Amino acid sequence: MARLHAPLLAPTDVIPHLARGERHWKQGYSAHAIATTWFGAKGLPDAIHRTLATHPRLSGAVLLDAFVERETDLRDGARGPSCTDVMAILKSPDGLVVMAVEGKVQEDFGPTVERWASDASEGSKKDVRLASLRARLGLRGSQPDHLHLRYQLLHRTAAALLEADDYGAAAAIMMVHSFDASAAHFDDFAAFAAALGAGDAHLDQVVGPVPGLSRPLYLGWTTDKLPPLAAAAPALPTPPRN
């Protein structure tokens, strides 16, 4: 994956990096909501800050850097990275924390593990990926115990752990940033948290850590309001050459 980055200067700069470009850039959908909210915050969005404050090990965390549409190689020999809406690097009282943020309005978390695994083309190595994800996340029990879980939650959380390893971070978080007051699909998130042994999930709270992993892993759900349609960014002066 690329490790050389250029700054994004406005929310609309995200559009070329979206899977479907401008077709994914619509008010009321997660790509627009995440980019607009995080650009406007000039740091951690207030709602995210309040959710982190519910856990004593994460209260007071501040944003150091954030990468939009961050691709993480899952390092299992299977095809395709995990593409995280925002990969945030935080400074907490305990040290660095890597937080993978998954934005949602009313979108779901994709297919269940069972459906995803059943739709395998020849040579896809989905069995290898699933075994790797289960091992990395410490999912206990047999594979059939996890077929009801949503595949996106597995690989997005694994991406947070892998990036935390790369940064030598003290902890990792997978945070859902929801812009839906009805908390659509929270039940899938709660089932995932329970399967990992993180505890009973609640809205606007962080749970964990997940037991048995090499570093603390937390899960969180943040409820926020949809932002207004982003205005066009003003023209910026060309920076001087050094």
pTM, two decimal places: 0.89
**Mean pLDDT lowest among 24-28, 58-62, 86-90, 180-184:** 24-28
The pLDDT tens digits for 114-137 are 999 998 777 778 999 999 999 999
Closest of 224, 102, 90, 206 to residue 156, by C-alpha: 102
88 strand-pairing partners: 66, 99
Is the CB of residue 184 less than 8 Å from the CB of residue 104? yes
pLDDT at 2: 65
Question: 3-state DSSP call for residue 218?
Answer: strand
Residue 136 phi/psi, 5° resolution?
A: -65, -35
Mean pLDDT (whole number) for 159-166: 97
pLDDT at 120: 73
Distance CA 126, CA 116 (A): 9
The pLDDT value recorded for residue 231 is 46
User: How far is it, in rounded angstroms, from Cα 28 to Cα 5?
Assistant: 28
Q: H or E stretch including 153? A: helix 151-167
**Could you tell me the two tokens for 198?**
């993180």
End-to-end CA distance of the chain, in Å? 28
**Separation in Å, CA 180 to CA 108, 127, 148:** 12, 34, 23
pLDDT band at 145 (very low <50, low <70, confident <90, very high): confident
- pLDDT for the residue numbered 20: 67
Pairing of strands 95-104, 171-178: parallel
| Residue 235: per-residue pLDDT | 45
Spatial CB neighbours of 136, under 8 Å, sequence gap ≥ 6:
158, 161, 162
Which of these, 156, 155, 173, lies nearest to 164 by C-alpha position? 173
